[in-house]
Amino acid sequence: MQPIAVITGAAQGLGRIIAEQLLAEGCRVAITDRDREGAERLARALDPEGGRALALALDVTRKEDFVAALDAVEARLGAPTALVNNAAMTPTTPVMEITPEEFDAVVAINLRGTFFGCQVFGDYFAGRGHGRIVNIASLAGQNGGTASGAHYAASKGAILTLTKVFAGQLAAANVTVNAVAPGPLDLPSVRAAVPADKLAGIVERVIPVKRLGNPAFVAKTVARLLGDEADFVTGATWDINGGIYMR
Task: Tell me, yes or no, whether 87 lies in a domain.
Answer: yes
Q: Give pTM, 2 decimals.
A: 0.96
Task: Tell me, yes or no, whether 84 lies in a domain.
Answer: yes
Q: Return the higher-pLDDT residue of 147 and 79.
A: 79
Task: Tell me, yes or no, whether 159 lies in a domain.
Answer: yes
Task: Tell me, yes or no, whether 139 lies in a domain.
Answer: yes
Please write the tens of the pLDDT for every residue from 123-173.
Answer: 999 999 999 999 999 999 999 987 789 999 999 999 999 999 999 999 999
* Cα distances (Å, whole numbers) of residue 7 to 22, 64, 164, 195, 205: 10, 16, 20, 29, 34
Task: Tell me, yes or no, whether 244 lies in a domain.
Answer: no
Task: Tell me, yes or no, whether 195 lies in a domain.
Answer: no
Residue 210, number of CB atoms within 10 A of its CB: 11
* pLDDT at residue 23 tops 80: yes
Residue-level pLDDT at 189: 81
Please write the tens of the pLDDT for every residue from 206-231.
Answer: 999 999 999 999 999 999 999 999 99
The CATH number assigned to the domain holding 118 equals 3.40.50.720
Set 152, 170, 223, 241: catalytic member: 152
Task: Tell me, yes or no, whether 173 lies in a domain.
Answer: yes
Residue-level pLDDT at 146: 78
Residue-level pLDDT at 148: 87
Please give the Cα distance from 14 to 184 (Å, whole number): 12
Print the domain residue range for 150: 4-187+214-235
Q: Return the higher-pLDDT residue of 197 and 100.
A: 100
The domain tally of the chain equals 1
Task: Tell me, yes or no, whether 247 lies in a domain.
Answer: no
Cβ neighbourhood burial of 200 (10 Å; 0-12, 13-18, 19+): exposed
* pLDDT at residue 1 tops 70: no
Cβ neighbourhood burial of 41 (10 Å; 0-12, 13-18, 19+): middle
Residue 124 bears catalytic tag: no
Find out whether 89 and 100 touch, Cβ atoms under 8 Å. no
